[in-house]
Chains A and B, each alone.
Chain A
C-alpha cells in the first residue's frame, strides 16, 4: 500500500504542477494546450543546466525560467497579437518538440537524450525517498487556492476570464492580468518539467513529457477550473498511471499478463472516459458546472 501511495505521489506531482498552471491560464481566459511544450522546455533546460553546472537548484531555476519564457511567447501570441489560442498552443508545442532534439544533437551529440545525470546533479530526495518537489506540490496547490479565493490578484484572474471589460473599466489592464497568469502557468509547467528530468528522472530524453501536458489539461477540465479541482483531477489521473506502472506484470489469467502496451494506454483511455462522463454531466445541467466564459465562446 505504501508502495502504491509513493508511486501515486511521484507520478502525480508533474500533473499537479502542470494542471495548476493550466488552471491559472485558462481561468484568466487563455486556453493553454501549450502545457505539454512548456513542460518539455523546462525538462530540457533543467537537464542541460544540471549537466553543465552540476548544480541541481540552479538547473531547477533555469528550467522554470525557460518555461516561463515559452509561456510568455504563448501570451505574446494570444494576448498581444490575438492569435487563436489553440493554434498558438500547437505552435509552442511544435517549436519545443522540434527544438529540443536539435539542441540535444548539438550539445550532447545525440538527438534522443542528454547524458545520464549523476545523483549529485539531481535534486536530492529527503530521507532518501521523498523529493522536496513532491512535498511542495500540495503546498503550492494550497497557496494557489488561497490566492484564488482571498487575494486581489486571484479576484483579477477570475474576472479576466469572465468579464475582462469590467477590469479595464476599473483601470486594471485585463491584458496584463492575463499575461501574468500565462507566464505563471509557464513557470509551474517548468517545475513539472524540471521534476521529470532532474528529480524523478536522471536526464532528458526526447518527448519525455509523453502527453502529460494534455492529461493535466484534462485534469483542469475535470476539476472545473479550480485549484482544488485541478489537484484532485491530477491525483485521479496520477493514480491511474500508478496502477499502470505497478500492475504491469501482474498475471491476469493463468500465468499470462496483459500486453504492456495495453496497460500503458490505460491512462489515456481513462482520460477519455472521465472527460466523456464529465462533459455529459455538464451538458445535462446547464449553468450548473462552470466553464470560464472566455473559453466557452
Chain B
C-alpha cells in the first residue's frame, strides 16, 4: 500500500448475532477505479459504510496511506477527501440543483450565503469534469441521469478526491449508463480514485482497474480486471458455476391468445400475449409500468380512462374488480413484494392465504393451519426456499427467498395454460435465485403459460422474452424481435427507445 491508497484490512463486523463481515480486505489505489462486487448479504454495504466511517468495525483496520487509523468516523473520512454517493439520491426535489450541490459546504459570511462565490466554484468544477447540470432548476424536474450528476458534483464540491459510489447505475437507462461510465473515466484521468459497489459485472469490466469479490462476508479475491472475466467473477461471487438461460428454446402458440391489450381510442397501446409466449416490457421505472400492472389487476385505472382495455383469455376485464380478476387463471408477481406481495409479520404459511383458495379456506372458516403448513412445506421444497420453516415470519427471509415464496404461491394457483404477470421478478435477488426464477418462468412458458414480464433489467428481458416492447412516458414502442441470425435483441435500439430517442411506435401489421 502506498501513499494515497485507502482500504480495509481484515475487517469483521458483528451486528447482534449476525456476522455481516467476517474478513474483508481490499485496497483502493490512488487514481484507479475499483469495483466491489458480491451477492446480497455478502457484506458490500457494510464494508462500504465502514470505509466511510458510518459504522465502527468489530475488528480489523481502516487503512489510509498504508497506515491503520483509529477512531475512524464520517468527519475524518470527509477530511481526508472521501465522498460517498448513496444508492438512493439524497437530493431535495424542491430545491435548486445549486442548493443541493453546495449543501454542507456553503460559502457564507456570518451565516449569510454568498451564492455568487458558490456559483463560481460549481462552474469551475463543471468545466473541469464535464459534468453539466442546469443549476437553477429544481432537482425534482431533472431526469435521473442529471440527478446522479448532481450527487457527484455535491461530493466533489465538498472537496472529495475519493468517491464511494453505491450501485450508481441501478436507476439509469443504458444510454445514461454509458455517459456515466465516461464521467468516471474522466474523473480517474484527473486523479480521483473511485470505489463502485455494484452487481453489474459488465460495467465492472468496462471501467474498473481492479475488482474485489466478496462472498458471505469475506474477500474471496482482489483481481486485476484485465486478467479476469465476467464468468470468473460470477463463479467467485456465487461459489459455483451458474447456467443462466439466454433465450427461450420453444416457439409460442400464436393461435391461442392469453392476454390482449387493446386501445379503443388511439390504437397505439395494443399488444397480445399468446400461449407459451414471454412478452417483455422494458423501460425506466415510472414510465407507465405501474399503470399497466394496475390495468390488469384493476388497481389502477388510469390507462382504462384513456380507452385502453384488457381481455384475459378472451374475456373483457372492464367490469371486473381485483378480487374477480384474482380468481381467474392468473399469477401475479408484484413489483414491490414487501408491499403488495407479502405480509411481513405473518408466517410463510399464512402468506399462502393471499393467493388462491388453494388451501381450502373460505372467507369465514377457521384457518386450517395444519393444511397450510403442509402445503407450504411442499412448496418451499419445490422452490428451494431457505430456511424451510413454514412458521417463520416472512420478514425473516432474504429478498430472494421471499420472491421464491411469492412465485411458489402464485404458480401453484394457476393451470399450465394460465397467465403470469411478473413485474421485476428478480429485483434485489441473488444470482443463484435469479437462475432459479428464470428457469421456472421459462419452464412455465414452455408448457403453455403466457407471460408478461415487466423489468428494467435488459439482460433479464433478453434472456427470457420472445418479443419486447418499451414503455416510455406511458406510450408503447415496439415490438422488438430477436435477430434471426444470432437470436439476440438489439440493445442499442431498445436502449434508445427507453430514453425516448427513437421514433414513435411504427405501425404494426
Contact = CB atoms under 8 A, between A and B. Distances in A.
B108 A151 contact: yes
Contact of A155 (B75, B90, B106): B106
Given A167-B103, A171-B74, A159 B92 contact: yes
Contact of B104 (A150, A162, A165, A170): A170
Interface in B67-106: 74-75, 78, 84, 86, 90-95, 99-100, 103-106
Given A151-B112, A151-B113, A166 B106 contact: no
B16 interface: no
A159 B93 contact: no
Nearest to A291: B94
B94 A170 contact: no
Contacts of A290: 94
A155 to B, nearest CB: 6
B140 A166 contact: no
B111 A165 contact: no
Nearest to B88: A165
Nearest to B109: A152
Nearest to A162: B92
A166 B92 contact: yes
Contact of B91 (A151, A158, A166): A166
A165 B151 CA distance: 13
Interface string A12-47: 000000000000000000000000000000000000
Nearest to A149: B113
B156 to A, nearest CB: 13
Contacts of B95: 158-159, 162
Contacts of B100: 166
B119 to A, nearest CB: 14
A103 interface: no
Contacts of B86: 165, 169
Contact of A287 (B78, B90, B140): B140
A156 B101 CA distance: 13
B112 A150 contact: yes
A167 B94 contact: no
Contacts of B78: 170-171
Contacts of A152: 106, 108, 111-113
B158 interface: yes
A290 to B, nearest CB: 6
Interface in B125-179: 140, 158
B158 A170 contact: yes
B108 A167 contact: no
A229 to B, nearest CB: 14
Given A158-B92, A171-B78, A153 B111 contact: yes
A172 interface: yes
A163 B154 CA distance: 14
B93 to A, nearest CB: 7
B94 A155 contact: no
B113 A165 contact: no
A166 B90 contact: yes
A159 B113 contact: no
A200 B286 CA distance: 55
Interface in A131-175: 146, 150-153, 155, 158-159, 162-163, 165-167, 169-172
A146 B106 CA distance: 16
A169 B111 contact: no
A151 B110 CA distance: 9
Contacts of A169: 74, 84, 86, 90
A216 to B, nearest CB: 23
A191 to B, nearest CB: 21
B107 to A, nearest CB: 9
Nearest to A166: B90
Q: Which of B75, B90, B93, B113 has the most CB of A within 10 A?
A: B90
Contacts of B105: 170
B297 to A, nearest CB: 23
Contacts of B91: 163, 166
A163 B113 contact: no
Interface string A226-266: 00000000000000000000000000000000000000000
Contacts of A159: 92, 95, 103
Contacts of B94: 158, 162, 290
Contacts of B112: 146, 150-152
A155 B99 contact: yes
A181 to B, nearest CB: 15
Interface in B33-80: 74-75, 78
A287 B94 CA distance: 9
Contacts of A158: 92, 94-95, 99
Interface in A100-116: none
A150 B114 CA distance: 8
A244 B60 CA distance: 72
A172 B74 CA distance: 11
B143 to A, nearest CB: 16
A121 B351 CA distance: 69
A78 B100 CA distance: 26
A170 B140 contact: no
A169 B95 CA distance: 17
A24 to B, nearest CB: 15
B112 to A, nearest CB: 5
A159 B90 CA distance: 10
Interface string A268-297: 000000000000000000010010010000
15 contacts: A146-B112, A150-B112, A150-B113, A152-B106, A153-B111, A158-B95, A162-B93, A163-B91, A166-B100, A167-B103, A170-B78, A170-B105, A171-B74, A287-B140, A293-B92
Given A152-B113, A165-B86, A166-B92, 10 more contacts: A146-B112, A151-B113, A152-B112, A155-B99, A158-B95, A162-B93, A162-B95, A169-B74, A169-B84, A171-B74
A-B CB proximity, top 4 nearest? A170-B104, A166-B90, A162-B92, A152-B108
